[in-house]
Amino acid sequence: MLKNSAFDDIFVENLKLLGFDLDIQNESGIGSSDVGNISHIVPTIQPTIKIGPDTLVGHTSEFCDAAISKQGDEALILGAKAIALTGLSLLAYEDKLKIITDEFHRALAAE
């Protein structure tokens, strides 16, 4: 996956606008995702929002329970709002979109 820090930063800014204080950790997950393919065509982010304890593992019954919990519902709404505000930011501020696009082209050329 081609990372795009400028795009990630805008998403994080919007989470903060929504009152979510984010503790960013640069962790690398394992597994695969089709979004990696997409990230070579257009600038892409793949944000995640906590829906349960730090020990929660995807594709488990515990993850399923967390997804339908009150915390899971709140995370879904927060994430939807942050994504919507991120899209609005790109429409409203051409300079932000240019920074993201420039970073994308540099990362693509470095591949």
* DSSP code per residue over 88-103: HHHHH-HHHHHHHHHH
Neighbours of 71 (CB within 10 A): 14
Torsion (CA) 29, 30, 35, 38 in degrees, nearest 10: 100
Residue-level pLDDT at 17: 95
Task: Please answer whether residues 9 and 47 qualify as being in contact, where contact means their C-beta atoms are separated by less than 8 angstroms.
Answer: no
Give residue 48's pLDDT band: very low, low, confident or very high (50, 70, 90): confident
- pLDDT tens digit string along 68-108? 999 999 999 999 999 999 999 999 999 999 999 999 999 99
pTM of the model: 0.85
Dist CA 2 CA 41 (whole Å): 10
The mean pLDDT value of the chain amounts to: 91
8-20 mean pLDDT: 95
Half-sphere exposure of 93 (CA within 13 A, CB side): 12
pLDDT-derived band at 21, boundaries 50, 70, 90? confident
What are the boundaries of each domain within the chain? 5-110
* Both structure tokens of 65: 């329970």
Torsion angle, alpha carbons of 55, 56, 57, 62, to 10: 130
